[in-house]
Structure 1
Amino acid sequence: MTRKKQIILPIVILLVGAVIFFALSSMKKPPEEKPKVDNTPIVAVEEISVAPLTLTVESYGVVTPKYEIELVAQVSGQIVELSEKFVRGGFVTKGQILARIDPSDYQAALIDAQATLASATASLQEEVARGKVAEEEWKRIQNASPTALSLRKPQLAQEKARVKAAKASVLRAERNLERTYLKAPFDAMIESRHIGLGAFVATGSNIGKMLGTETAEIRLPVADNQLQFLVNQGEAATVNLEGDFSGQKQVWQANIARSEGVIDDTSRMSYLVAEVVDPYGLKTTSDVIPLRFGSYVNAKVLGKELAMATSVPRHLVNKDRVALLNKDSTLKFVDIEIVSQDGANVIVANGLKTGDRMIISALDYPIDGMKLSLAGEDVDLPEADVNEDAQIASVKD
């Protein structure tokens, strides 16, 4: 009996262990399968559009009048009249009377000069008559030839000189009388006035300062290597000026009038001078935004025309190459010809065509021919096991 127990007990224990093992095995869950992922870099692209393009050269400057003068008194006297427009900021037209100096003394001087002229003219006529009498008397004398003095020619010349001097005095008196009127020499805006009604001014006294409103000028500094992008070094080129007026951005059009022809010693820049006709719009009936003197403006000088070109962000260019996405979703580097730089972009003339997809994402290790995925497209996951972490390129905002 004891021997049977010794044989049966181990068998029972083995059976119970087997039952427990199978029970536990049936309770164990199978391992979860990891989702299959794709480690192909995802990129964003921008479609290239190639079209005719006008090169521009950027510059800046301050608007100044082409003509500005200090108005001075040419005669002395008391100010007896002032125009209402002869004030700071007033607009005046050519020939308009701004002020008048007391003309009394100059009117008297003119009368005196006219009287002197009349006296000299009478003396001349009298001397002419005397000369004729002397000539008639010498005709009756046959044995001698008359001299210039006997014919009173020196006296006649002296009287003629007196008449010329008297005429000059009249002209001088008339001019001084005319100068009692202080007139605007051209269409202008008054920048300052230094006299008042009743003030006494001496010859040469500063009356005020005037800024011509017919034409405004802007000196535009241009780097010497930028002149190659302009036709005829910018001569007669069109310029778009951008500035502020009443807190809003405005654009005015100007034209290059001339080049100063030298390189500035300090800035090492060449200067082009742009002109704007009637900057305050005084000669037009339509509403024109005035381009005020002293305004700071940014300028774009229009240059050469390119038959086919496009603009590319400068940071996407590496060693004159850009990355494109082929139709088979592979990366391809293409060589480009950069013509000029336009701010944060570069102008490309050759190497790209309309429809090319330029990669604008940042790739850690771009390789020509590498497989890429386009952002927003469904990707077929590979059947083979792949790494759990997918490489995703950062997309430019």
Structure 2
Amino acid sequence: MATKKQIILPFVVISMGVAAFIGIASLKKPPEEKPPVDNTPLVSVQNVEFQPMTFSVSSYGVVNAKYETQLISQVNGEIVYVSDKFVKGGFVKKGEVLAKIDPSDYESNLLDAQAQIATAKATLVQEEANAVVAEKEWSRITEGKPTDLSLRKPQLAQAIAKLKSAEASLHRAERDLERTLIKAPYDSLIATRDIGLGAYVSRGNSIGLMLGTEVAEVRLPLADKEIQYLESKGVNAEVSLIGNFAGNKHEWQGKIVRSEGVVDSKSRMTYLVAQIKDPYGLSSDKRELRYGTYVTAEIEGAHAGEVAIIPRYLVVNGQVAIMDNDKKLRYKPVNIIRQEGSNVVVMSGLENGMQVITSALDYPIEGMAVALPEDKILQQDAEQVPVKTDLAMGTKE
């Protein structure tokens, strides 16, 4: 049978253990309270600014002469003169003599034609006189109606026809003699020369290639969708051409004068034609724009009105994320009228001064709170303000 000591001893040990645990627990510091963590996502924003805008359309092309003429010999003969300016790359004025074909045979033909004219005129005068004499003789012989043959009308008609034929021969002789002089049809740049002094040319032989210097043209291809940004389909629009000259980029001004009116079967492009006056600066002091130069073009388009330009990646499913005045995430549907590279042009859906969110959000939800980095900095500065102590009064605020 257990004694009283055996019964009381376990209770004493347990009580001492509980007291020791309580004593040790009382010595442990209570856990420090952690400050609340602000999980509001940080965002960066861009202010929306509406400004007036005029569209422009980009293109490219190669500069060529508006007029290009292959000179062809219209008579036969030996080249007896070649102008010093008639060389590849030379500039000549309209009507300037470039070369001469031996005119001897054509001068002789002209003399023959002049002689035929004189003979035909003399024959006509004689036949007219004979007709008058025949009419008088017939009136003396008989009172009947004379025939055409008796009045020598066929002979008179034949004389008139011979005179006209002689005049035609004279005209051909004069024209052939004139064609022995090879003249520039307009102010030109000599592209090629295909003859030399002493060479013999026949009708149809090439003399040289002339490029007009008064006006240059550039064919500018445009995709069909780009035409909507031009007024009057681009006709009469100003165009800026940028190309290289002497190793540096330069700009020239031109004007769209026409559309070719068809869609190219291979490229599926529509071509506009720009003209540049005096491309070589022969009558002005502007920098020359050489034929064959590759240029990029900016064509002035229609007025878009008040629009905003924002990065293209900000538009998702036709909506843009913004931060409202309460620093809440909101989605705004926008009307995009054009894409320009990495940007889009917004006509409506946004307002001037709105803050578009430009940073990515992991789990964006309409109406969720967002914050700017400067808001977090101001909040941290406010939390770190030290407690003020009034030493004079011995109190703490």
CA RMSD of aligned residues (A): 2.9
Structure 1 segment 1-397 matched on structure 2, within 5 A: 39-284=39-284, 287-375=285-373, 378-381=377-380
Aligned residues of 1:50 and 1:352 also touching (Cα < 8 A): no
Structure 2: gaps (5+ residues): 1-23, 384-397
Task: Sort the Cα spacing of 1:215 and 1:307 in 2 relative to 1 into closer, same or farther, 3 A.
Answer: same
Task: Sort the Cα spacing of 1:300 and 1:126 in 2 relative to 1 into closer, same or farther, 3 A.
Answer: same
Aligned residues of 1:37 and 1:381 also touching (Cα < 8 A): no
Task: Sort the Cα spacing of 1:246 and 1:327 in 2 relative to 1 into closer, same or farther, 3 A.
Answer: farther
**1:213-254 Cα deviation digits (max 9, x unpaired):** 222222222222222222232232222222222222222222
Task: Sort the Cα spacing of 1:358 and 1:243 in 2 relative to 1 into closer, same or farther, 3 A.
Answer: farther
Task: Sort the Cα spacing of 1:332 and 1:290 in 2 relative to 1 into closer, same or farther, 3 A.
Answer: farther
What letter matches 2:379 in structure 1? D
How many Å separate the matches in 1 of 2:178 and 2:263?
45
Task: Sort the Cα spacing of 1:85 and 1:362 in 2 relative to 1 into closer, same or farther, 3 A.
Answer: farther
Task: Sort the Cα spacing of 1:208 and 1:182 in 2 relative to 1 into closer, same or farther, 3 A.
Answer: same
TM-superposed deviation, 1:182: 0.7
The two structures have a TM-score, normalised by structure 1, of 0.82
TM-superposed deviation, 1:323: 2.5
TM-superposed deviation, 1:142: 2.7
What letter matches 1:379 in structure 2? L
Aligned residues of 1:373 and 1:379 also touching (Cα < 8 A): no
What letter matches 1:157 in structure 2? A
**1:25-53 Cα deviation digits (max 9, x unpaired):** 9xx99999999976544433333321111
How many Å separate the matches in 1 of 2:374 and 2:199?
82
TM-superposed deviation, 1:275: 2.0
How many Å separate the matches in 2 of 1:359 and 1:224?
34
Task: Sort the Cα spacing of 1:150 and 1:215 in 2 relative to 1 into closer, same or farther, 3 A.
Answer: same
TM-superposed deviation, 1:380: 0.5
How many Å separate the matches in 2 of 1:100 and 1:345?
63
How many residue pairs get aligned? The number is: 359
TM-superposed deviation, 1:198: 1.6
How many Å separate the matches in 1 of 2:378 and 2:37?
10
Task: Sort the Cα spacing of 1:109 and 1:33 in 2 relative to 1 into closer, same or farther, 3 A.
Answer: farther
**1:53-102 Cα deviation digits (max 9, x unpaired):** 11222222222222212111111111111122211112222212111111
Structure 1: gaps (5+ residues): 1-21, 385-397
Aligned residues of 1:38 and 1:381 also touching (Cα < 8 A): no
What letter matches 2:378 in structure 1? V
Corresponding residue of 1:10: none
The two structures have a TM-score, normalised by structure 2, of 0.82
How many Å separate the matches in 1 of 2:176 and 2:267?
48
Task: Sort the Cα spacing of 1:318 and 1:146 in 2 relative to 1 into closer, same or farther, 3 A.
Answer: same
- Structure of higher RCO (CA pairs closer than 8 Å, 6+ residues apart): 1
**1:312-334 Cα deviation digits (max 9, x unpaired):** 22122212222233344443322
TM-superposed deviation, 1:177: 0.8
TM-superposed deviation, 1:175: 0.5
What letter matches 2:113 in structure 1? A
**1:286-344 Cα deviation digits (max 9, x unpaired):** x3122222122222222221221122221222122222333444433222110011222
Aligned residues of 1:218 and 1:274 also touching (Cα < 8 A): yes
Percent identity, aligned pairs only, is 52
Corresponding residue of 2:12: none
Greater displacement, 369-378 / 65-74: 369-378
TM-superposed deviation, 1:276: 2.0
TM-superposed deviation, 1:359: 2.8
